[in-house]
Amino acid sequence: MLSVSRKISNRRKIFWAIFVVAGFLIIRSVSVAQAATSTVRGAAWWSDEYRYIYFDCLDDLVSDQLDVAENLYAYPEPRGFHFYATPCTNLVHHVSIDNDGNFSGTAWNYSQGLISLEATTTPDADDPPDNYAFNVNCPNTCNAGNNCWACYNESTQLIHGWARTASSGDWIRLDNATATPVALQSWDYLDDSVLPGHDVEPGDFVGYATSTLGDISFNCESEGGGAGNCATRDYKVYISNLQVGHLSAPNWSYSNACNDEARKAVLKWYLKSGTQNGYEIVVNDTNSFSTSTSDYICWSGIKTPSVASQYIIPNTDPGCPALDYNTHYYWWIRLFDSEGEATEWYQYGVDDGHLGSGDEATDGNPDSDIRTFTTYAHEFPTPYFTWEPYEVLVGTTTEFTSDSYYYDSAAPAVPLGCSTSTCSYLWTTDDVSATISDDTAPTTFIIFFQATGTVVNLSTTDPDSYVCSTSTTVNINYDLPLWREIKAE
């Protein structure tokens, strides 16, 4: 039985010729749109009769392998014996998705021939059956005006529109299946999977297209509505080239700043497709980009091999010192694949091939510029307290006093003693029966009623609403009885 590798190599270096009993077989070339950014690869399963649809000539197994049954006696017409062939030598076809989400190019099936995913220049003859009604679901225009028949909406992860066989003119609808529609997994495969519970990675297609010649499955994992059939036929359609799908920054929470320092940032990225083997990052405090000069705040250099998905600043890289307080930073990243090929540069917060307008600003975006992340204005407060008496007894009053510090923008790393005019406080304890005289005062009195180890917590908030907490376990004991010796009468 024919098996299609789920990651078909594009480095087969073989030469071929085609000899057919009835004569010469002429195959025409099909060009690919130059504006495409996502390369569609792999194979879809049509049926036992029509078998595979190949989305790139690099994956055309039928015309370059001797052990495929169709090569020996069946299709394509005229039937004959097909020798080895260098992929994409004579039959050239590709499918791509551009930055607008629009498909272009041509797939191929040994029985039905070329299958187009883009319109020709004769709109009246090539309008799809729904007359472009699907366009309302596309993120950008997809109609006769730009020769578009199909689109991808990354927000919904769904494919919409049509494809068409060149030989018979049969239409293939890409968004007709209701149970398992054709979808393309975006970067958020953990929380927003297009096929939950299955081995679907960013850049993988799933689901079914429909046609009068039968349904077409885009992934063995989604066959049978998700039952899967990969043990019998291992195939999928996928995006092959490495791409960034999502960025987030600075990923440095109040808790992080309380326990470490305030000027750190963790730059994170998530793949849209492909396999990463390295990365390179540039950070600057202006919206200017350079690696050839020192006009940057931080440059990681090229990190290969590396499958890391985050970069922490500061670090030991000589070109990446500590960040400044209260500063807005821009950042860029590019990735490297296993062949050492670099992606384009992606900028945080910019729609430049990834959905930058959907990038995550974990700092609340204080400057209202989605292209920047912002460091904290100064260090976070240092809460600290003491109590008296040190030996705490059940039912007695214990005095707790804050000795906390805070920082301000004038001297962001110099500790200042808290006062009622600069800091606010909140005292809590895990002893629900305890009474706290004033839970927001710098000094308070607590009475405990249980003899146990009790956690006392103090949260200190500075004038900029930065807040940190500290906790201490206080051992509560009973007061021992007084013993005295009494002489017998």
- The string of pLDDT tens digits covering residues 305-351 is 999 999 999 999 999 999 999 999 999 999 999 999 999 999 999 99
Where does the pLDDT of residue 195 fall: very low under 50, low under 70, confident under 90, or very high at 90 and above?
A: very high
Structure tokens given for 12: 């087969």
Residue 61, pLDDT > 90, answer no
Residue 66, pLDDT > 80, answer no
Mean pLDDT of 391-406: 97
Q: Over pLDDT 90: what percentage of the chain? A: 75
- Residue 28 lies inside a defined structural domain of this protein: no
Among residues 207, 239, 271, the one where a domain terminates is 239
Which structural domain range is residue 268 located in?
Answer: 243-375
Mean pLDDT of 147-158: 96
Where does the pLDDT of residue 63 fall: very low under 50, low under 70, confident under 90, or very high at 90 and above?
A: low
Residue 105, pLDDT > 70, answer yes
CB of 203 within 8 A of CB of 272?
yes
Q: Which comes out higher in pLDDT, residue 269 or 484?
A: 269
Residue 184: name the closest of 214, 161, 162, 152 by CA: 152
- What's the Cα-to-Cα distance from 102 to each of 149, 164, 375, rounded to whole Å? 8, 16, 38
Among residues 239, 254, 269, the one where a domain terminates is 239
The CATH number for 247's domain is: 2.60.40.10
Residue 64, pLDDT > 70, answer no
Residue 464: name the closest of 390, 384, 408, 389 by CA: 408
Where does the pLDDT of residue 481 fall: very low under 50, low under 70, confident under 90, or very high at 90 and above?
A: low
Residues 6+ apart with CB under 8 A from 18: 24, 25, 63, 82, 83, 85, 90
Classify strands 392-393 and 467-477 as parallel, antiparallel or unpaired.
Answer: parallel
Long-range CB contacts (< 8 A, 24+ apart) of 406-409?
Answer: 406/381, 406/382, 406/460, 406/462, 406/463, 407/378, 407/379, 407/380, 407/381, 407/462, 408/378, 408/462, 408/463, 408/464, 409/325, 409/326, 409/377, 409/378
Residues 290 and 177 both lie in one domain: no
- Residue 23 lies inside a defined structural domain of this protein: no
pLDDT tens by residue, 231-247: 999 999 999 999 999 99
The structure tokens 């190019």 sit at 105
Residues 358 and 395 both lie in one domain: no
Mean pLDDT of 64-87: 53
- What's the Cα-to-Cα distance from 350 to each of 26, 108, 332, 354, 355, rounded to whole Å? 46, 35, 10, 8, 7
Mean pLDDT of 56-75: 61
Residue 421, pLDDT > 60, answer yes
Between CA 168 and CA 164 the distance in angstroms is 9
Residues 176 and 189 both lie in one domain: yes
- Residue 174 lies inside a defined structural domain of this protein: yes
Residues 248 and 226 both lie in one domain: no
- Residue 396 lies inside a defined structural domain of this protein: yes
CB of 248 within 8 A of CB of 359?
yes
Mean pLDDT of 469-482: 87
Q: Which comes out higher in pLDDT, residue 399 or 31?
A: 399
Bin 34: left if φ > 0, else alpha if -120 < ψ < 50, else beta. Answer: alpha
Among residues 224, 239, 254, the one where a domain terminates is 239
Where does the pLDDT of residue 228 fall: very low under 50, low under 70, confident under 90, or very high at 90 and above?
A: confident
Confidence at residue 19, expressed as pLDDT on a 0 to 100 scale:
29
pLDDT tens by residue, 457-475: 999 999 999 999 999 999 9
Confidence at residue 22, expressed as pLDDT on a 0 to 100 scale:
30
Confidence at residue 480, expressed as pLDDT on a 0 to 100 scale:
64
Confidence at residue 305, expressed as pLDDT on a 0 to 100 scale:
97
Residue 407: name the closest of 301, 261, 302 by CA: 261
Residues 353 and 416 both lie in one domain: no
Residues 469 and 448 both lie in one domain: yes
Confidence at residue 148, expressed as pLDDT on a 0 to 100 scale:
95
Residues 227 and 181 both lie in one domain: yes
Mean pLDDT of 54-69: 71
Confidence at residue 10, expressed as pLDDT on a 0 to 100 scale:
36
Mean pLDDT of 6-32: 31
Where does the pLDDT of residue 442 fall: very low under 50, low under 70, confident under 90, or very high at 90 and above?
A: very high
Structure tokens given for 285: 């405090």
Confidence at residue 13, expressed as pLDDT on a 0 to 100 scale:
33
Mean pLDDT of 192-219: 95
Residues 187 and 281 both lie in one domain: no
Residues 267 and 396 both lie in one domain: no
pLDDT tens by residue, 112-125: 999 999 986 554 45
Residues 187 and 305 both lie in one domain: no
